[in-house]
Structure formats: C-alpha cells, structure tokens
Amino acid sequence: MDTSQAMIPYTRGGLPIARMRSVYRVDEVGARLDKLPAKEHESLRATYERMLEKGPERFQVKPSGLPQMEHLYDELPNFHDVLDDVRRQLALCEDSLDALEITPLLLLGPPGVGKTHFARELSVLLGTGMGFVSMSSLTAGWVLSGASSQWKGARPGKVFETLVDGQYANPVMVVDEIDKAGGEHAYDPLGALYGLLEQDTAGHFTDEFAEVPVDASQVIWVATANDARAIPEPILNRMNVYEVRSPDRDAARAIAARLYRAIRAAHDWGQRFEVDASDAVLDRMSEMAPREMRRAWMTAFGNAKLDHRDHVLPRDLPEPAHKRSAIGFVQ
C-alpha cells in the first residue's frame, strides 16, 4: 500500500521519486510470533522480531524523469536492444503517478559477456537495491522460497531477505544461470518463480521459512542463462527474452580502453602510467570476454611496474581464458 511520498539520494541522473510501500503486515508477524513455543525456533523468532523492529515500509522508487542512459549505451554496446526496451518502459511512467513497471528480463548469452554487470547497472540507474540468486548452487532448491523452519539450519529465501532486510520494495532481483536450475533437487527450484513473475500472485508471496506473506509484486526481475532450451516454457512466456552476443572487436576495444582509464584514475599508482593504452594492447584485450578484462588489466599493470615501465605492453597481458589449457587434466 502506498503512503507518503519522499525523496532519497541518487547518484546518477539526479533524485528519484520514492513512495513508501508496506511489504508485509505487522499484525500477521505479531500473531506468528505469539504462537511460537517458548525457547524453540530461535532463528524464526529472531526473524519475526527483526521484522517488527524494522517495520513494514520500504522505498518504492522510480526516476524523477527519463534518466540519462547514454553512458550505458557506451559501456554496454552489446545490450542496446535491452536498453531500448528499458528506456521505453521508463518513458511510460515518466511524469505520471504510476509506479515503475519493467517486464521481467531474460538475458541469453555465453559466460562473461556482462549479463550480471548489466543487472547491477540497471539497479544503479533506477536508484534501487539488488538481490542475487545463483541457481547453479547446491542450495538452489530453497534459495528463492526459503526452507521450512522445521529443518535444521533452515533460513528464509533470497526474495524474503531482500525485501525484509533491504530498503526497497522494488529491488532488482537477479536469477543467475536460471538454465542450471533443473535436475537433482528434491523439488522444482523454479516452482516459486512461476508465481513471483505474476504481479497478482507475487503480492502475497509466502516464504516457506517465515510463513508470513510479503509483497513481492514490485520486484524487477532479471534472469541470465546460456541455453534457453533448459528453461521451462511457462518461465519463458513470462519474460522478455534477449540474446546477448559477445561484443565485436571494435566494441571490445572500446570497453577495454574505458576500463583502462577507469582503473588508472581510481589508483594513485595509476598516474605513473600513460593516459591511454596502445592500439596493440587494445587489440589483445579485444580477444577477451568483458568479465576477464579487469583482471587482465591489473595483471598487466603489475607486470609493467615490475619491469619499471610507464606503459603496458601486449606481453604483460595474460592469455584469454579460451586459449588457456585446463589445469590438472591431461589431454
């Protein structure tokens, strides 16, 4: 439920508009707490007490106008289609009383092309928080919806934690490697997601640990995957699907050059190095996935410093991951 309107600090593009929205009912939490047996379920008791202490209201934010996105088009040249769609959806709520609505996004592409980085930048653009769920982990069976408090070591799921422990009613929630969620779990780890991707049912999402409904209807969903064939059709039907390719050579060079300048500017030792990297070095960097580039630059800066140089040479760079031989295996 919307109550007062407020303004909160924002680092890019000015101040977002923020309304307060209740994400759970205090009376329901109190009733659950009162029913707990004395000296039992201490973790669950602590969860309820934390909910009562924090209160139910969270910021529901949206940009105050159409935010500046040119820097994202420059930084993420292989995400232009996704950015175009986000821009359209932001335009719909500009200069209106409507809440921000972004259709769930599914980013398909090979590892290392920047899918998770895009999600982080989206949360910064919108001025909201971010939760992260890896569906490839051994705990993926309960990581979204929590595990029953009857189980030893049980805890709430990530959706509940992000809403209850965070500041925002509409955080960006990243479901990483959603195509790895099948298979060996005791039950469908994506079962909770079917309801969470629908606003009507997400408004009364019940975590299996806390067993108190929370309002997850405003969560902004971004899923990443390598292979759409492993994703259930009902999930695909609820999301806008984008194929994200690796950046071409020119785009990769631009990403590498921008990252070189950013790292150099962020460190005192960076001032000892030339302002821009050479074309030969950028050519080598263009062979790498965006995810590798920061580590590669740090390695190169270190090698150049050890060699008492103020510039990076191609030989300072590590080999791209796809050219390295496997460690510990005989071919």
Last residue of a domain, one of 243, 274, 291: 243
Q: Is there a single domain that holds both residue 212 and residue 260?
A: no
* Distance, CA of 113 to CA of 110 (rounded, Å): 6
- Within a domain: residue 328? no
> Whole-structure pTM over 0.95, yes or no?
no
* Distance, CA of 105 to CA of 220 (rounded, Å): 9
Q: Is there a single domain that holds both residue 220 and residue 311?
A: no
Specify the pLDDT at position 187: 61
Q: Is there a single domain that holds both residue 288 and residue 170?
A: no
Q: Is there a single domain that holds both residue 150 and residue 226?
A: yes
Q: Which residues is 240 bridged to in the sheet?
A: 105
Helices 290-306 and 249-266 sit at what angle, rounded to 10 degrees?
50
Q: Is there a single domain that holds both residue 165 and residue 65?
A: yes
- Within a domain: residue 184? yes
What residue numbers bound the domain in which 312 lies?
A: 249-320
Q: Is there a single domain that holds both residue 258 and residue 236?
A: no
Sheet with 16-22: strands ordered across: 2-7, 16-22, 57-63
129: Cβ contacts below 8 Å, ≥ 6 apart? 123, 162, 166, 167, 168, 171, 172
Q: Is there a single domain that holds both residue 84 and residue 136?
A: yes
- Within a domain: residue 156? yes
CATH classification at residue 198: 3.40.50.300
| Domain count for the chain | 2
Q: Is there a single domain that holds both residue 211 and residue 269?
A: no
Q: Is there a single domain that holds both residue 146 and residue 276?
A: no
Q: Is there a single domain that holds both residue 211 and residue 125?
A: yes
Q: Using alpha carbons, list the distances in angstroms from residue 99 to 76, 86, 90, 159, 217.
A: 26, 14, 10, 20, 11
Last residue of a domain, one of 243, 268, 286: 243
Q: Is there a single domain that holds both residue 145 and residue 219?
A: yes
3-state secondary structure of 221: strand
* Distance, CA of 71 to CA of 85 (rounded, Å): 16
Last residue of a domain, one of 225, 243, 261: 243
pLDDT tens across the length of the chain (331 residues): 444 444 344 445 455 677 899 999 999 999 999 999 877 788 899 999 999 999 999 999 888 778 889 989 988 888 999 999 999 999 888 777 788 889 999 999 988 888 888 988 998 888 888 999 888 765 556 788 887 877 777 789 899 999 999 999 999 999 999 988 765 555 677 888 889 999 899 999 999 999 999 999 999 999 999 989 989 999 999 999 999 988 889 989 998 998 999 999 999 999 999 999 999 999 999 999 888 899 999 999 999 999 999 999 999 999 877 554 333 323 3
Q: What is the largest CA-CA distance in the chain?
A: 69
